[in-house]
Amino acid sequence: MKREHLSNSVLEKLPYHLRDFILKQPYDEYTAQNQAVWRYVMRKNIDYLGRVAHESYIPGLAKAGISIEEIPRMEGMNRILKEIGWAAVSVDGFIPPNAFMEFQAFNTLVIAADIRTIDHIEYTPAPDIIHEAAGHAPIIANPEYAEYLRRFGEIGSKAISSAKDFELFEAIRHLSIIKEDPATRTKEIQEAEEQIAVISANMGAPSEMSGIRNMHWWTVEYGLIGTLKHPKIYGAGLLSSIGESKWCMGNQVKKIPYTIDAAKVEFDITKPQPQLFVTPDFAHLSFVLEEYANSMALRKGGLKGVQKLIQSKNLGTIELSTGIQISGKFAEVIEDDRSRPVYIKTIGPTALAYKNKELIGHDKNHHRDGFGSPVGKLKGINLAIENMSPTDLEAYGIYEGRKTNLLFEGGVLVEGEIITGKRNLQGKIILISFRNCTVTYKEEVLFKPEWGIYDMVVGENLISAFSGIADPNSFGQQFEIPKEKTHKISYSIKETALFELYDQVRLMRKSTHIDENVLQKIFGQLIKNYPNDWLLALEIYELLGPDQMFEFRTEVTSYLERFCHDDSVKNLVQDGIRLIDASEH
């Protein structure tokens, strides 16, 4: 990331655990055919989307450093994106949803390094640089939408996943990888699709992340804006799909007003969407997002919040009413007869923080074997510990050097000698440390003196529970890095020779010096060795021009007309010719 750092200071703010997902853009691995695919899609997009996309799209391309002529470089995009307070990083395909959202929260676009093959030129289920760069980047030039995207990342990264969510993510990632690999057998794709169907049918109760994932899909990826009768496109999935961007505007796709109900609507990445949601404006997106956030444990906390974290089996954080935060893998919660949490427990490395800043001396190494603490008020005392004045604390025997017994309303008993305490900025006690301490609940021993110092967090209520770590720079890697990497396509000698032909045409176009003899030799090799390749023929057709090399152009036209009888590429070829002809007038 060193070179990107030099071109965009936004990246310097990224937490270290996110940087493990970033890879150097493999720009030298893009073939000349890849470049031609980019150019073809972008020319079609600008021609069509200029009429049906949100008004921010076309001017946003320049503001995001996106060129029609060649695949963008991350360094170049970052030099331009920093002007609007954003950045871009290159990654390997799909990354875990919480990590993806967290990048957004830090004003950073995640851009898949690979580009779709010519066989999937209209649509690919795999994230690629056309989808990410040409789809997502232009719309963030709109300040209102950019803030929605950032806020979505901020809230979405806190959504709690179920244990099944990661299994589904891995299955979807696997399918996207093998579908874009020409060497994959049809049977393998069918098996992967069946596996996703099985997992999807057995997800159990929807998690917070499933709702966030759906809302992201129906807005950021496949959103429409305006009126139901005359919507415009702003979703990146539609902006980057030259096939579905046309399909979606027809009556065959149902248009529905965007509401919080979209959080319950699932989607299939392998098929065109049967319905789409329309927001009247970008402000409405933020309104619905806040409505959903109000239903999340992030804002509701309580017993259900910590139970969600336990069920997720992932790293998470709870925050008490004093502002102290506990981050780790939650394993147990004891509740009272009024369904209130009275004791929480983690397993494995745990860290304590206040206002998202780790408390000195309470990192994951200090609490490497887990952490436990009561929650609530002391029995028979209306005043919560955090609200006690120095006089109150002394009256109830809560001060340094004092051996004390603290019996909580929920039945947890803490017996030991107080060593010290920590206060927050308002002077409220947030942590009390004991030596020779025993903690019990009914007949169960929760902590023994021989285990060492007992640190007890202070808080009457559990006000928040969310995915991830309170202090993102203190814990190391929080996410499981996907084991399966995007397949690198192995090209044959014959395919490599084809790419060299593409490159010769590309260099000729850039130099503006057209050598008819060289072009004819290239075309001859194309006809002889690559009779199924239509895109290179289009590139040659463009170079010939309408008023020169007439006979040669007629020959190329006849060759292209052959493809107009093949339904799989007919529209692609016809649209390509139309765009070239239109640019000449």
Digit-coded pLDDT (tens) for 528-571: 999 999 999 999 999 987 766 778 999 999 999 999 888 889 99
Angstrom CA distances, 519 to 498, 501, 513, 514, 525, stand at 14, 9, 11, 8, 10
Residues 6+ positions from 296 with CB-CB distance below 8 Å = 155, 158, 159, 160, 208, 466
**H-helix or E-strand containing 297?**
helix 297-300
Looking at residue 347, its pLDDT comes to 97
The proportion of the chain whose per-residue pLDDT surpasses 70, expressed as a percent, equals 98
Digit-coded pLDDT (tens) for 296-322: 999 999 999 999 999 999 999 999 999
Digit-coded pLDDT (tens) for 227-265: 999 999 999 989 988 778 888 999 999 999 999 999 999
Asked if 306 contacts 344 with a C-beta cutoff of 8 angstroms, the reply is: yes
Looking at residue 60, its pLDDT comes to 92
2-290: CATH topology: Phenylalanine Hydroxylase (1.10.800)
Looking at residue 408, the DSSP 8-state letter turns out to be B
Digit-coded pLDDT (tens) for 426-445: 888 999 999 999 999 999 99
Backbone phi, then psi, for 418, in 5-degree steps? -75, 125
Digit-coded pLDDT (tens) for 68-89: 999 999 998 998 999 899 999 9
Looking at residue 317, the DSSP 8-state letter turns out to be E
Q: Output 119 or 303, whichever has higher pLDDT.
A: 303
Give the integer Cα–Cα distance in Å for 575 and 578.
Answer: 5
Is the alpha carbon torsion for 126, 233, 73, 512 positive or negative?
A: positive
Looking at residue 478, its pLDDT comes to 67
Digit-coded pLDDT (tens) for 182-236: 888 989 988 988 888 888 888 878 899 999 999 999 999 999 999 999 999 999 9
Domain residue spans of the chain: 2-290, 303-467, 493-583
Looking at residue 419, its pLDDT comes to 96
Angstrom CA distances, 402 to 395, 397, 405, 510, stand at 12, 7, 10, 82
Mean model confidence pLDDT for the chain: 91
Looking at residue 136, the DSSP 8-state letter turns out to be I
The proportion of the chain whose per-residue pLDDT surpasses 90, expressed as a percent, equals 67
Looking at residue 163, its pLDDT comes to 79
Looking at residue 3, its pLDDT comes to 44
Looking at residue 250, the DSSP 8-state letter turns out to be S
Say how many residues make up the chain.
585
Which range (266-275, 315-324, 430-439, 448-457) has the least confidence?
A: 266-275
Looking at residue 164, its pLDDT comes to 83
Residues 6+ positions from 163 with CB-CB distance below 8 Å = 311, 312, 313, 314
Residues 6+ positions from 421 with CB-CB distance below 8 Å = 400, 429, 431, 432, 433
Looking at residue 585, its pLDDT comes to 65
Evaluate if residue 6 carries a pLDDT over 60.
Answer: no
Q: How far is CA 445 from the centre of its chain?
A: 42
| Two tokens, residue 41 | 């899609």
Give mean pLDDT, residues 490-518: 93
Asked if 89 contacts 12 with a C-beta cutoff of 8 angstroms, the reply is: no
